[in-house]
């Protein structure tokens, strides 16, 4: 259902700033703007008669009281974000003046927009599909160049192209099956049956390829969870501070200073990484420290990358040996800290150690490179990562794969074509959910409720 009301909201973040933007969109946007806007010159046009994509100086007024001096932009449908008539007001960025400008438009007949309602209208009016609408959120929240690149690719329709191709292939198979249902006396000849099975296999392969980008999509949106493990005073908190570039964790020579996990995000060579500092691993009698150590092991099990830290100046400890045996080798980097001090001979047997000094910064650039290489080896940063499907897409694709499997089995075994068609329709339905070809109000509410006001 295409909305008929006119909505308004502040489109810039809350707080104090030099400028704020109020966005108004809908069939009465220009008429409402006429009631609120006074041109700076008597000869200047009102918004309702101004040419599209023009900017006008003037004042927002209410009940003969001037609210603020503004620049008002007139954007006429369909060349707008929502494909509706739109007005954008650039006013001063104080919280009070911004609220008063918005209230002026609400009193003049606009309704306060719900979270994501502008983008929802862009979808309903055919300007964006659902994957592109979701990319708007990814674009806003991108913390690294790679995440930004993936969001831009999705907003440009990179993922949509694959989804539409998958849906078109399934629809073609469905059309063949339904044509034979309408003419039951004509069986599917063996050659056509083989061609349909090949097309189903091609569809399955494309769906599988898309599902394989799900881990990369999660890492781009949430960051690669990277856990710092090691014995007390190995330098985990110092390493965290070095990687972040700020003094986030307390550094102390007293063992057991860190008793709980500390999480902070950083940009490592263009990749979003969430570093997790943990309690030092040792036999602890203190209940609080013991719980911290348990959480350290738990965090390592669910991590995308583990950084195991050793103190090069101290002799190897049996606990270090336990670390070597328990850490998953495919997602672990071994780091030797305190390289500025004399190295104990017991550590010379490990040539794979990345040697650093948290005190001097030695080796930190090499470590950042190795973190990037390790994460990219798992797929992050590859061309496939640009697809960056999210959890909603993955759920729909998994249902699609299940339906394709059932369809293939039914078609190959000669089951009645009306049963084959049921599974095919389920596959088409699931794929259509991804781009919004098949939607429900609940689905749209769930997606757009995650957006901010004004977007």
Contacts of range 134-140, beta carbons closer than 8 Å, 24 or more positions apart? 134/390, 134/392, 134/447, 136/451, 136/455, 137/450, 137/451, 137/455, 138/220, 138/221, 138/388, 140/452, 140/455
Mean pLDDT of the chain: 84
pTM over 0.85: no
**Second-level CATH architecture of 132-213+388-435:** Up-down Bundle (1.20)
Pairing of strands 17-25, 86-93: antiparallel
pLDDT at 353: 85
Overall average pLDDT of the 206-225 stretch? 86
* CATH, range 220-377: 3.40.50.300
- Backbone region of residue 272 per phi and psi (left: phi > 0; alpha: psi in -120 to 50; beta: other values): beta
User: Where does the pLDDT of residue 247 fall: very low under 50, low under 70, confident under 90, or very high at 90 and above?
Assistant: low
pLDDT tens digits for 275-333?
888 765 544 455 544 555 556 566 566 778 888 888 888 887 776 666 666 677 788 89
Name the CATH superfamily, with its identifier, for domain 7-128: Probable tRNA modification gtpase trme; domain 1 (3.30.1360.120)
Overall average pLDDT of the 351-363 stretch? 87
Sorted by where each begins, the domain ranges of the chain are 7-128, 132-213+388-435, 220-377
Pairing of strands 7-10, 17-25: antiparallel
Of 175-184, 293-302, 427-436, give the lowest mean pLDDT range.
Answer: 293-302
User: Where does the pLDDT of residue 79 fall: very low under 50, low under 70, confident under 90, or very high at 90 and above?
Assistant: very high
């Amino acid at each position: 259902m295409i909305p008929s009301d006119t909505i308004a909201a502040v489109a810039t973040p809350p707080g104090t700033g030099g400028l704020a933007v109020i966005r108004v969109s809908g069939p009465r946007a220009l008429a409402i703007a006429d009631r609120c806007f006074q041109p700076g010159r008597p000869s200047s046009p009102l918004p309702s008669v101004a040419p599209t994509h023009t900017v006008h100086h003037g004042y927002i007024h209410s009940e003969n009281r001037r609210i603020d001096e503004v620049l008002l932009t007139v954007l006429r449908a369909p060349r707008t974000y929502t494909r509706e008539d739109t007005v954008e007001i650039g006013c001063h960025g104080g919280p009070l003046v911004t609220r008063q400008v918005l209230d002026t438009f609400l009193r003049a007949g606009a309704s306060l927009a719900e979270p994501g309602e502008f983008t929802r209208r862009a979808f309903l009016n055919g300007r964006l599909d659902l994957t592109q609408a979701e990319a708007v959120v990814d674009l806003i929240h991108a913390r690294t160049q790679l995440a930004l690149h993936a969001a831009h690719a999705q907003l440009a329709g990179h993922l949509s192209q694959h989804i539409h191709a998958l849906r078109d292939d399934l629809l073609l198979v469905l059309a063949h099956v339904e044509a034979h249902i309408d003419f039951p006396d004509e069986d599917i000849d063996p050659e056509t049956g083989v061609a349909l099975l090949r097309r189903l296999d091609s569809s399955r392969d494309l769906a599988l390829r898309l599902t394989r980008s799900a881990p990369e999509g999660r890492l781009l949106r949430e960051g690669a969870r990277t856990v710092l493990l090691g014995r007390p005073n190995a330098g985990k908190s110092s390493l965290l501070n070095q990687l972040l570039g700020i003094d986030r964790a307390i550094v102390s020579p007293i063992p057991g200073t860190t008793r709980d996990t500390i999480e902070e995000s950083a940009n490592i060579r263009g990749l979003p990484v969430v570093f997790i500092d943990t309690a030092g691993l040792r036999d602890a009698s203190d209940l609080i420290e013991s719980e911290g150590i348990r959480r350290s092991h738990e965090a390592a099990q669910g991590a995308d990358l583990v950084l195991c830290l050793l103190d090069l100046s101290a002799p190897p400890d049996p606990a270090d040996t336990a670390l070597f045996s328990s850490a998953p080798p495919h997602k672990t980097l071994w780091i030797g800290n305190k390289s500025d001090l004399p190295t104990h001979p017991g550590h010379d047997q490990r040539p794979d150690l990345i040697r650093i000094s948290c005190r001097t910064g030695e080796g930190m650039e090499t470590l950042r490179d190795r973190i990037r290489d390790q994460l990219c080896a798992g797929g992050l940063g590859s061309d496939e990562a640009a697809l960056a499907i999210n959890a909603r897409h993955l759920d729909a694709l998994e249902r699609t794969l299940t339906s394709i499997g059932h369809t293939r089995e039914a078609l190959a075994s000669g089951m009645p074509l009306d049963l084959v068609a049921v599974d095919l329709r389920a596959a088409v339905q699931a794929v259509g959910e991804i781009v919004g070809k098949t939607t429900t109000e609940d689905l749209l509410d769930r997606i757009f409720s995650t957006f901010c006001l004004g977007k």
